[in-house]
Amino acid sequence: MIHLQERRGSLLVGLALLLLATACGGSVRSGSQGTGSPAASATSPSPIDGLYFSGHSVLRFQKGQWKLVAQALRMAGTIDVTPGRLTLSNQAFCPNSAGTYSWAESGKKLTITSLSDRCPGRDVIVSGSWEPISPLSAVSKKGDQVALDDLLFATYQGERDVSTKTGTEIHVQVKAGANGYSFSPTVLVGAPRQQLQLTVLNPVGANFESIFHDFSVPAEGISFDLLPGQQRTVTVTFPASGSISFFCRYHAKYGQAGELTVAG
């Protein structure tokens, strides 16, 4: 179920991460990066505005802004789009290094090709074929690959309203078949600032592959491994509004991610 293309994508992303870290003279941070200072004109929609998925990364163009999430790497800045030409600029890592690309649409597929980019490694991640991906929504179905609020991607396995509960259980699992890596459920819906005793279980049995996983909530400093059959209970706190993501740090690149979200 781990396709060759996914492995190649992971290697490319890893290489780009290394290049970017080297260029910046520091480590690659997992936190959200600034979006720079958008120009006054950088607020209008472009013909390629939308959410795209490469198989390992999610890219969003929206009203003059771009944001790309590839595993732990988050990049964002402003875009200028003209027919066939795309310019990325004002990225926090590379504030003075614009990248110029050509773009073409075929059906719903967007192909981006690097022409010139002085930000080392960025062209490796941005260039290629991008398919549309839907954001997580009320119409998401089990098995769908969806983009979470923070642009991690996840294989959706349902949501659970825990707003009146003190605790619940979630599985970090690999089921046989395509898109087998997931959390079940993928979304926990709670009340603002609610605390929840969350038991994370790595299930074993005929329907699951027995491998070890991790449970990470970077926003809350949580990260621990789980051997097959092991479980651990941890207190998580819902945000005041919106969502925070959790994922398995080993398999987020295969869609093993989810979110704690506050309704409304």
- Any contact of residue 48 with Cu ion (CB under 5 A)? no
Which residue, 56 or 251, is less far from Cu ion as judged by CB? Answer: 251
Tokens of 158: 């349902």
By CB under 5 A, the residues from 152 to 211 that bind Cu ion are none
Give the nearest distance from C-beta 183 to Cu ion in angstroms: 9
Q: Looking at beta carbons only, is 18 or 211 nearer to Cu ion?
A: 211
Which residue, judged by CB position, is nearest to Cu ion in the bound state?
248
CA 39 remoteness from chain centre: 26
Least Å distance, CB 184 to Cu ion, is 12
Contact map string, positions 202 to 221, toward Cu ion, x by CB under 5 A: -----------x--------
- Residues 236 to 255 in contact with Cu ion, rule: CB under 5 A: 248, 250-251
Give the residue with the Cβ less far from Cu ion, 89 or 245: 245
Size of the chain, expressed as the number of residues it contains: 264
Instruction: Provide the minimum distance between the beta carbon of 31 and Cu ion in the complex, in angstroms, as a whole number.
Output: 22
Dist. CA 216–CA 176, nearest whole Å: 23
Q: How many residues bind Cu ion, per CB under 5 A?
A: 5
Phi-psi region of 252 (alpha: psi -120 to 50; beta: other; left: phi over 0): alpha
Residue nearer to Cu ion on the CB measure, 52 or 183: 183
Q: Strand locations in 123-254, DSSP E?
A: 128-132, 134-135, 145-147, 153-155, 159-161, 167-174, 181-184, 187-190, 195-201, 213-217, 222-226, 231-237, 243-247
Burial class (CB in 10 A: 0-12, 13-18, 19+), 26: exposed
∠ CA 147-50-86, rounded to 5°: 125
Q: Which stretch binds Cu ion (CB under 5 A): 79-87, 192-200, 239-247, 256-264?
A: 256-264
Q: By the criterion CB under 5 A, which residues form the site for Cu ion?
A: 213, 248, 250-251, 256
